[in-house]
């Protein structure tokens, strides 16, 4: 869930923007270097941004019968890496604020911190950790998307609890309140997003090996078998 | 095209410089979160609503359709402030001063959202993005944002047509089928996005693409009169809030 426009007090809005700034600056530098070295990357990165925007507009069924949309941070982090996702995620959040009235401009820093920074980094860390232990690709993808989604909502709970501490039990009480509301809705949604991401990745492995190899998700490996054919395998 | 952007393209203030509209719209948003919710945010809310429906000429129906989304988030977000955890009266009880806090938050978020909507409903992103370079945003980031913006509409249109085709093939009749269709939609979005990028690259290469995306930006000057009037309006709102705060209970 995006924190709505004006929801955070000015000091909190500024503090979260300051906290997000180093990650976004790092992402901007990484993106600028990539574009300088490979001008054609502008189009691929733009396509990646559009994909992230469209992914966040997909409706996924939730257990309560209602619908929600995936954050897309887990899949984005696996495909495009967290530094680039910090920039693409922030652009997506800006578009959502201005084109869909989701989130806001004063809360852009806070939303970017949860959805474009913590979510992708947490998901990517889990993905890399599982890959290191040779866990199958799809299992790694599921847990990356699950953790990215859940960590996004945990950070949002912390942001809201810091801004609106409970009158009697303070920050921890407020964290319990916001956390329990999110847990009720978001744990099933995180599972749903994990499953959806696995299904999307399975289709991508079948249909877009070239792009996945270019993005480094799959590595090209020449088998030394009798036929000497080239096969593509999940990156270890 | 998304409804807010479509409305912005045909807005009465379409030909105004984005800075003019940013001073007014985003100024109202800043006032909404800086002034006390009562009466400050309430005044900002009324001022933003009158400006949107009056001089800016936004259709009430379009505004309501866009506004109900943040309003829903505001109401949901304000509800937890009504309750408190722990304390002598029980585990979960009504918080003392909860309704005032929730009401204040609702006023603040509603007013701030309307300020941003005033900007969004009058400024197409295609007018805003190329000008961000002058505001200090690195050119490669603006270029990526421009491609993202233009490609998003094509992808959303493709997704809509694919969803229709899936529905026509009974792709949404069972929960399993719906999941398969949804996964297909996500994967197709990826394939289409990269396919379009590759074709765009080929087309641009044929026209001497050197890594810079040049787009025509309407040559509209910043209106000092409009900016000054907006500044005066915002200052008057702030002053009125301070006066009313002393007079009202």
Q: What digits encode the pLDDT tens for the residues B103-156?
A: 999 999 999 999 999 999 999 998 999 899 888 899 889 999 999 998 898 888
- Partner A contacted by B185 (CB < 8 A): yes
Interchain CB distance below 8 Å, B190 and A177: no
pLDDT digits (tens, 9 = 90+) for B145-203: 999 998 898 888 888 899 999 999 888 888 888 888 888 888 888 888 888 888 888 88
Measured at the CA of B75, the angle between CA A65 and CA A178, to 5 degrees, comes to: 75
For chain A, domain boundaries = 10-209
Q: Rounded to whole angstroms, how far apart are CA atoms B111 and B233?
A: 16
Interchain CB distance below 8 Å, B80 and A32: no
Q: What is the mean pLDDT of residues B54-79?
A: 88
Would you place residue A227 in the very low, low, confident or very high pLDDT band (cuts 50, 70, 90)?
Answer: very low
Q: Chain B closest CA to A202's CA: distance in Å?
A: 9
Mean pLDDT highest for which of A119-133, A222-236, B60-74? Answer: A119-133
Interchain CB distance below 8 Å, A50 and B190: no
pLDDT digits (tens, 9 = 90+) for A47-80: 888 888 887 777 665 444 445 667 778 888 888 8
Give me chain B's average pLDDT, please.
88
Chain A environment of B74 (Cβ under 8 Å): 4, 7
Q: Rounded to whole angstroms, how far apart are CA atoms A82 and B20?
A: 36
Interchain CB distance below 8 Å, A91 and B180: no
Q: What is the mean pLDDT of residues A137-146?
A: 92
Say what the pTM is.
Answer: 0.88
Chain A environment of B108 (Cβ under 8 Å): 6-7
Q: Which residue among A4, A94, A208 sits closest to B190, beta carbon to beta carbon?
A: A208
pLDDT of residue A46: 87
Assess whether pLDDT exceeds 60 at residue B53: yes
Chain B environment of A94 (Cβ under 8 Å): 145
Residue B79 C-beta-side C-alpha neighbours within 13 Å = 9
Instruction: Count Cβ atoms below 10 Å from residue B193 Cβ, excluding itself.
Output: 28
**Helices assigned H by DSSP within B35-97:** 42-53, 60-78
Q: What is the mean pLDDT of residues B72-79?
A: 81
pLDDT of residue A87: 93
Instruction: Count Cβ atoms below 10 Å from residue A3 Cβ, excluding itself.
Output: 27
Give me chain A's average pLDDT, please.
83
pLDDT of residue B35: 92
- Partner A contacted by B29 (CB < 8 A): yes
Fold category of A10-209 in CATH: Arp2/3 complex 21 kDa subunit ARPC3 (1.10.1760)
**Helices assigned H by DSSP within chain A:** 10-37, 41-55, 73-80, 82-95, 108-111, 119-132, 137-163, 170-207, 209-214
More confident residue, B178 or A208: B178
pLDDT digits (tens, 9 = 90+) for A91-132: 999 999 999 888 889 999 999 999 999 999 999 999 999 999
Q: Which residue among B85, B148, B186 sits closest to A168, beta carbon to beta carbon?
A: B85
Would you place residue A226 in the very low, low, confident or very high pLDDT band (cuts 50, 70, 90)?
Answer: very low
- Partner A contacted by B189 (CB < 8 A): yes
Token pair listed for B144: 């990526």
Q: Chain A closest CA to B92's CA: distance in Å?
A: 10
- Partner A contacted by B187 (CB < 8 A): yes
pLDDT of residue A60: 62
pLDDT of residue A208: 78
Q: How, if at all, do strands A230-234 and B83-85 pair?
A: unpaired
Q: Are A48 and A35 in contact (CB under 8 A)?
A: no
For chain B, domain boundaries = 3-123+219-247, 130-205
- Specify which residues B94 forms β-bridges with: B83
Assess whether pLDDT exceeds 50 at residue A229: no
Assess whether pLDDT exceeds 90 at residue B22: yes
Interface of B with A in 110-139 (CB under 8 A): 110-113, 115-117, 119-120, 125, 128, 138
Q: Rounded to whole angstroms, how far apart are CA atoms B96 and A93?
A: 35
Q: What is the mean pLDDT of residues B210-235?
A: 88
């Amino acid at each position: 869930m995006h924190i709505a426009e004006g929801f955070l007090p000015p000091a909190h809005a500024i503090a979260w923007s300051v906290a997000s700034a180093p990650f976004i600056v790092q992402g901007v530098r990484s993106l600028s270097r990539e574009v300088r070295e490979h001008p054609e990357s502008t189009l691929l990165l733009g396509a990646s941004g559009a994909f992230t925007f469209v992914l966040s507009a997909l409706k996924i069924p939730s257990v309560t019968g209602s619908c929600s949309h995936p954050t897309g941070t887990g899949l984005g982090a696996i495909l495009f890496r967290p530094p680039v996702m910090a920039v693409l995620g922030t652009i997506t959040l800006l578009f959502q604020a201005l084109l869909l009235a989701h989130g806001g401009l004063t809360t852009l820093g806070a939303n970017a911190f949860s959805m474009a920074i913590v979510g992708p980094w947490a998901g990517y860390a889990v993905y890399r950790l599982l890959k290191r232990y040779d866990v199958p690709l799809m299992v790694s993808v599921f847990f990356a998307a699950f953790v990215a989604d859940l960590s996004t909502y945990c950070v949002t709970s912390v942001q809201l609890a810091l801004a609106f501490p409970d009158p009697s039990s303070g920050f921890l009480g407020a964290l319990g309140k916001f956390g329990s509301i999110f847990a009720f809705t978001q744990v099933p949604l995180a599972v749903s997003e994990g499953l959806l991401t696995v299904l999307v990745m399975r289709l991508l492995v079948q249909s877009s090996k070239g792009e996945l190899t270019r993005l480094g998700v799959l590595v090209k490996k020449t088998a030394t078998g009798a036929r000497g054919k080239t096969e593509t395998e999940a990156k270890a | 095209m998304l409804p807010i952007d479509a409305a912005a393209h045909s807005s009465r203030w379409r030909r105004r410089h984005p800075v003019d509209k940013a001073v007014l719209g985003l100024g109202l948003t800043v006032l909404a979160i800086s002034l006390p919710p009562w009466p400050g945010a309430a005044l900002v809310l009324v001022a933003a609503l009158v400006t949107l429906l009056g001089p800016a000429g936004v259709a009430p129906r379009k505004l309501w359709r866009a506004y109900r989304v943040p309003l829903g988030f505001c109401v949901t977000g304000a509800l937890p402030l009504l309750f408190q955890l722990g304390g002598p009266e029980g585990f979960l009880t009504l918080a003392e001063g909860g309704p005032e806090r929730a009401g204040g938050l609702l006023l603040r978020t509603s007013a701030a959202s309307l300020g941003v909507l005033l900007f969004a409903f009058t400024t197409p992103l295609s007018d805003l993005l190329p000008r961000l370079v002058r505001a200090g945003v690195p050119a490669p980031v603006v270029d990526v944002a421009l491609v993202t913006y233009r490609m998003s509409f094509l992808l959303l249109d493709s997704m809509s047509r694919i969803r229709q085709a899936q529905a026509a093939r009974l792709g949404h009749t069972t929960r399993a089928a719906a999941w398969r269709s949804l996964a297909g939609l996500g994967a197709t979005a990826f394939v289409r996005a990269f396919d379009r990028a590759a074709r765009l690259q080929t087309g641009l290469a044929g026209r001497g693409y050197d890594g810079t995306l040049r787009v025509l930006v309407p040559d509209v000057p910043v209106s000092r009169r409009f900016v000054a009037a907006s500044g005066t309006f915002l200052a008057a709102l702030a002053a009125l809030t301070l006066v009313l705060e002393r007079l009202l209970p």
